[in-house]
Amino acid sequence: MAGSNGVWWDRDLDHGGRPIRPDVRSAGHEIWEQACRRTRAVVSDQAPAAELMENAVAQVSRYLDRIGAPLSSAKQGLLMTAFCRSLKRYASKSARLELAGTSTELRTGIAEQRWVAQSDARLDLEIILRRLSGRNAQVLVLRAADYEWKEIADLLGTSPARVRNSFWREIKKIRWNGASGSDA
C-alpha cells in the first residue's frame, strides 16, 4: 500500500501461507495513515509501521477465521487495537535497548583504550627500569626482547637460576617499596 507516509506490503497470504481476509486487508488500507502517525508519535519513526501493520493484519485475519466471523467492512477498530498493541510492545522493547554509541565511536573508543593501555605499560616499564640495578635492567630489556633465561645467563657469564632469582628478588623489592609508598 503506497501513501504519503510510506509503504506496507499488502499480501494475499500471511507468513505461514494462510489466506488473509479481504475485509481485514481493506481495513488496513483505511487505517494506514493513522497507523503511520501513531507510530511516528510513539517511537519518533514511522519505519516500523509497515511490519507492525503486516503482523496486525495477519493476526486479526487468523483470529476472525478462528472464531468464524462473517466477512464485513467494519474491522478498522479491531485492526487498530491489534496494531496499537503491537506498537506498544515494539516501543517497550526498543526502550530497553541502550545504544553504546555508533560504530565509529566504538572503534575510536577501543583504539583510545588500546593506546592508553600501551602508554601506561611503557611508562610502567620506564619506572621499573629506573628502579632496577643496571644488571637487572639489562635482564629486563633482554627478556622483553624474547631472550630466554639461559641466553641471558650466557651473556652475563652466570647460571640461569642465579640470573632469574636475582631479577625476581629485585622486582619483589621494588613492588614492596612501591606498595609502601617509597619511590626509590
Give 116-142 pLDDT, tens digit per residue: 888 888 888 888 888 889 899 888 888
Angle at 116 between CA 110 and CA 117, to 5 degrees: 90
State the architecture of 103-179 in CATH terms: Orthogonal Bundle (1.10)
Grid coordinates standing for 180? 609502601
Instruction: Identify the residue with better confidence: 69 or 162.
Output: 162
pLDDT category at 76 given cuts 50, 70, 90 is confident
Global pTM reads: 0.50
What lies within 8 Å, CB to CB, of 42 at 6+ separation is 87, 88, 91
3 pLDDT exceeds 60?
Answer: no
Instruction: Sketch the domain layout of the chain as residue ranges.
Output: 2-96, 103-179
